[in-house]
Amino acid sequence: MPADPALPSHPVLKLAAIGTLAGAFSGLFGVGGGTVIVPLLIFWFGYGERLATGTSLAAIVLIGLLGAIAQGGIYGNVHVVTALLLAVPAVIGVVIGTAVQQRISQRMVSILFAALLIGIAIELVLK
Amino acid sequence: MSGDEVLAALICMAGGFTGGIVGVGGGVLFVPALTIFIGLTQVEGESTSLLMIVIVALIGAIRQNSYGNVNVRNAIIIGVLSPLGVLIGVAIANHVSERALQLSFAALALFIAYRLIRRAMAAPA
């Protein structure tokens, strides 16, 4: 399946806004950055769903790393062995998920993302 | 392995799968797996989930990069600038009621979901 066409370089300020918003939302609502990064890349930068979700995952590596270092280093709340053991099935899941994503339409990715957002909204209201 | 541990493993696999499909870290499923089935506190669950998210997002990003779906430069800019936002978010969260925050994010999530669905329906297949 062909990737999206080559990208023009984007204004750093818009990216900075996405990074800051993703961080702010995770600080405000305790949700991960991905729920913010993916729609903003789609609506502000015109990314296709696959490019938006792939770039989001790469950004999350950094966001999570900085957060985990702060939590683990400062507060000692990270259960490392538990995380590593449960990361095994989770990694199997993400490898299957990314492979499946290449075989479904980008429109379907948008609809699945919308379904996730609706689920999160319901969970927040019921809290 | 106890039944609860098997369930936690299955939920984490579903979390990773969700992350791969829609580009999120999977914490939305990792945290309940860790708190409900492993018995961690909410803070421990969220912190431990962060480490899992890093591993899952890294493997997911490597896979997506091999499919040609990552703009590495833009991802780095977004990631590096996010801690600034976290500080702003935490500062705001300390001054606004948690319930108000939950309901406003729920409303925003529904609005974005509506926009995504409308856009998906309008786009050619």
Q: Out of B30, B52, B116, whose CB is closest to A113?
A: B116
Is the domain of B60 the same as that of B36? yes
pLDDT higher than 50, residue B14:
yes
Q: Where among B52, B70, B88 does a domain terminate? A: B70
Is the domain of B36 the same as that of B83? no
Is the domain of B88 the same as that of B54? no
pLDDT higher than 70, residue A53:
yes
Contact residues on chain B for A79, CB-CB shorter than 8 A: 34, 40, 44, 47-48
pLDDT higher than 70, residue B17:
yes
pLDDT higher than 70, residue B84:
yes
E strand spans, chain B: none
pLDDT of residue A10: 54
Q: What is the mean pLDDT of residues B107-123?
A: 92
Is the domain of B85 the same as that of B30? no
Q: Out of B8, B21, B27, whose CB is closest to A101?
A: B21
In terms of C-beta distances under 8 Å and separation of at least 24 residues, what long-range contacts does B28-37 make, across chains too? B28/A31, B28/A32, B28/A116, B28/A119, B28/A120, B30/A86, B30/A90, B33/A86, B33/B7, B33/B8, B34/A79, B34/A82, B34/A86, B34/B8, B37/B4, B37/B5, B37/B7, B37/B8, B37/B11
Is the domain of B61 the same as that of B88? no
Angle between helices B3-22 and A34-45 (to 10 degrees): 10
pLDDT of residue A55: 97
pLDDT higher than 60, residue A94:
yes
Is the domain of B84 the same as that of B63? no
**Pick among B28, B37, B38, B71 to test the A interface (most A CBs inside 10 A):** B71
The pTM of this model reads: 0.89
Question: In whole angstroms, what separates CA B111 from the centre of its chain?
Answer: 18
Tell me the pLDDT band of A77, cut-offs 50, 70 and 90.
confident
Is the domain of B66 the same as that of B79? no
CB A98 within 8 A of CB B58: no
Task: Tell me whether residues A83 and B110 touch, CB distance under 8 A.
Answer: no
Residue of chain B whose Cα is closest to the Cα of A96:
B17
Q: Where among B70, B92, B116 does a domain terminate? A: B70
- Is the minimum CB–CB distance between B93 and chain A shorter than 8 Å? yes
- Is the minimum CB–CB distance between A69 and chain B shorter than 8 Å? no
Tell me the pLDDT band of A8, cut-offs 50, 70 and 90.
very low
Per-residue pLDDT tens digits for A14-41: 898 999 988 888 777 767 789 999 999 9
Which residue range is the domain that position B46 belongs to? Answer: 1-70
pLDDT of residue B85: 85
Q: Out of B56, B72, B107, whose CB is closest to A90?
A: B56
Is the domain of B122 the same as that of B66? no
Domain boundaries, chain A: 12-126
Is the domain of B123 the same as that of B87? yes
Structural domain count, chain B: 2
pLDDT higher than 80, residue A11:
no
CB A93 within 8 A of CB B28: no
Is the domain of B62 the same as that of B92? no
Rounded Cα distance, A55 and B64, in Å: 8
